[in-house]
């Protein structure tokens, strides 16, 4: 059957790859529906809306179409419109997909933005490490004194019989013992303490801390003060310690001053020297040349660092001091303030080995009363520290004579009127900013 010539408006769909070609049917009407297979292609909406005009195909025979079919299939596929209209759809253009929209946050919650000042991870790690070190250091500073407190020895200091009434403030008794029981023969020779037996005291101090603020007060009581001792007549006050130890000494002072003793702290020769050495020495200003063979020292006037041996001789010496026992009491208060000042310096607090050594050496060198708490000991130490910067009032009990002849030999006699005025102010917890005066206008302490 001969091939009929193709009409100008005749067209057929371009066969799809991989799918069988549908039989060609005659197109009777140009309004017939023309189906185009778009499976596997992008939607037409993603393609640009441009179009181009193509010239109508020339009429040709079926054989010519068959020869030209491979070439036509090699060309880019184009979407064709309905037959006879002479327009082709432009080739598809790849476009980027639209960005995916994020879901809005749930109602009632606001999105949390990342911190603007967050540094690099390495900087944050260093910051956390520094905070950890500081926390551990603070814990060490707090825990060390509590650990050292467990090594203090207890002393029976509660006196027998009636005691004075409690006062608003707190009054403590601080004693420096010259007992040599805990010293070896080599230590006695090095420190120059001699070999005397028994227990005596070279320093007796009252430490008063007011309840309503104000200055604390440290009052030195000369060891040769002639006072009545319960059940033992009148004698030098250090005899009470030699006869009955801390209990009789506390009872004697309570009866003489009518002040209730709220705590007791004692330190011996050997412990004193060890505490000074644990600090690496103490800065002290020697008021004059001191060459005292009894105290085993030869010190020149001026500020200097004293080790344990020279420090012990400095606070014990009285034969080289023109004021005798009174001058020694002043130097003892001066030196206690210097010790506490050295203990609070950064070279001690920031050095863990020295800080640990000082706290544990001090705790092992002192004896505290049965009812003396760690808070009481801290009040005593703070008052001692204040003696170095005048925040603590430092004085000696008012005296009338330092060469008072008694049955016990040359003794120290108090000025009874002014001494009782001082003790009354302490008992009534009156603030003291300066040594009080007696009826004659003279200071009650020096």
- Residue 29: how many other CB atoms lie within 10 Å: 6
Q: Using an 8 Å Cβ cutoff, are 89 and 51 in contact?
A: yes
Q: Using an 8 Å Cβ cutoff, are 226 and 413 in contact?
A: yes
Phi, psi of 347 (to 5 degrees): -65, -20
Delimit the domains of the chain by residue range.
167-427
Q: Using an 8 Å Cβ cutoff, are 171 and 264 in contact?
A: no
- Between CA 9 and CA 348 the distance in angstroms is 109
Q: Which residues of 298-308 are buried (b: 16+ CB within 10 A; e: fewer)?
A: ebeeeeeebeb
Q: Using an 8 Å Cβ cutoff, are 282 and 276 in contact?
A: yes
Q: What is the pLDDT of residues 380-428, one digit of tens each?
A: 988 988 887 888 999 999 999 999 999 999 999 999 999 999 999 999 9
Provide the token pair at 51.
Answer: 């179009």
- Between CA 340 and CA 140 the distance in angstroms is 20
What is the full DSSP assignment across 268-314? -HHHHHHHHHHTT-EEEEESS-EEETTTTEEE-SEEEEE-HHHHHHH
- Between CA 286 and CA 299 the distance in angstroms is 8
Task: Name which CATH class applies to 167-427.
Answer: alpha beta
Each of the 446 residues of the chain gets a pLDDT tens digit; together they read 445 555 545 545 555 555 555 555 544 444 444 455 555 555 544 444 444 444 444 455 454 554 455 444 444 454 444 554 445 556 665 666 666 666 666 666 566 655 555 556 777 888 888 888 889 888 998 899 999 998 898 988 888 778 999 888 899 999 987 655 555 656 555 555 555 555 678 889 999 999 877 889 999 999 999 999 999 999 999 999 999 999 999 999 999 999 999 999 998 766 778 889 888 899 999 988 998 888 888 999 999 999 988 988 888 888 888 888 888 888 888 888 888 888 888 888 888 899 999 999 888 888 899 889 999 999 998 898 888 788 899 999 999 999 999 999 999 999 999 999 999 999 998 888 777 664 444 445 54
Q: Give the gyration radius of the chain's Cα atoms.
A: 52
Q: Which residue has the tokens 């419109």?
A: 81
Q: Which residue has the tokens 């109508």?
A: 56
Provide the token pair at 175.
Answer: 């004693």
Provide the token pair at 302.
Answer: 């001026």
Full-model pTM: 0.67
Q: What is the pLDDT of residues 45-55, one digit of tens each?
A: 444 444 444 44
- Residue 17: how many other CB atoms lie within 10 Å: 8
Report the Cα 66 to chain-centroid distance in Å.
97
Dihedral in degrees, nearest 10, Cα atoms 339, 345, 347, 349? 100
- Residue 273: how many other CB atoms lie within 10 Å: 23
- Between CA 137 and CA 204 the distance in angstroms is 37
- Between CA 16 and CA 209 the distance in angstroms is 107
Alpha helix ranges (H) inside 204-268: 237-257
Alpha helix ranges (H) inside 35-160: 62-74, 121-149
């Amino acid at each position: 059957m001969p091939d009929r010539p193709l009409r100008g408006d005749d067209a057929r769909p371009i066969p799809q790859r991989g799918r069988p070609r549908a039989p060609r049917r005659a197109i009777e009407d140009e309004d017939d529906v023309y189906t185009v297979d778009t499976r596997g292609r992008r939607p037409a909406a993603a393609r640009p809306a441009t179009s181009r005009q193509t010239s109508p195909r020339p009429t040709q025979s079926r054989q010519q179409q068959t020869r030209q079919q491979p070439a036509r299939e090699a060309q880019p596929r184009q979407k064709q419109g309905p037959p006879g209209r002479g327009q082709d759809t432009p080739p598809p253009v790849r476009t980027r997909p639209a960005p995916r929209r994020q879901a809005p946050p749930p109602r009632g919650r606001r999105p949390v933005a990342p911190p603007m000042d967050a540094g690099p991870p390495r900087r944050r790690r260093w910051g956390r490490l520094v905070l950890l070190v500081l926390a551990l250091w603070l814990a060490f500073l707090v825990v060390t004194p509590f650990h050292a407190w467990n090594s203090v020895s207890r002393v029976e200091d509660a006196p027998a019989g009636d005691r004075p009434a409690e006062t608003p403030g707190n009054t403590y008794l601080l004693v420096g013992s010259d007992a040599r029981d805990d010293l070896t023969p080599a230590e006695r020779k090095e420190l120059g303490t001699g070999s005397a037996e028994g227990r005596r005291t070279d320093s007796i101090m009252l430490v008063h801390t007011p309840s309503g603020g104000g200055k604390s007060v440290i009052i030195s009581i000369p060891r040769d003060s002639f006072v009545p001792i319960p059940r033992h007549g009148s004698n030098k006050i250090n005899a009470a310690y030699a006869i009955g130890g801390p209990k009789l000494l506390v009872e004697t002072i309570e009866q003489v001053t009518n002040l209730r003793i709220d705590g007791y702290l004692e330190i011996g020769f050997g412990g004193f020297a060890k505490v000074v050495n644990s600090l690496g020495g103490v800065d002290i200003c020697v008021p004059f040349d001191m060459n005292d063979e009894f105290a085993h020292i030869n010190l020149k006037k001026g500020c200097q660092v004293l080790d344990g041996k020279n420090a012990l001789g400095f606070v014990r010496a009285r034969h080289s001091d023109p004021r005798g026992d009174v001058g020694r009491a002043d130097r003892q208060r001066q030196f206690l303030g210097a010790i506490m000042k050295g203990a609070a310096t950064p070279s001690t607090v920031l050095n863990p080995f020295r800080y640990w050594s000082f706290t544990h050496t001090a705790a092992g060198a002192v004896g505290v009363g049965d009812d003396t708490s760690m808070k009481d000991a801290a009040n005593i130490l703070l008052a001692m520290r204040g003696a170095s910067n005048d925040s603590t009032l430092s004085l000696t009990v008012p005296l009338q004579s330092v060469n008072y002849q008694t049955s016990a030999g040359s003794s120290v006699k108090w000025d009874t009127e002014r001494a009782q005025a001082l003790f009354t102010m302490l008992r009534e917890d009156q603030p003291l900013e300066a040594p009080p005066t007696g009826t004659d206008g003279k200071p009650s302490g020096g």
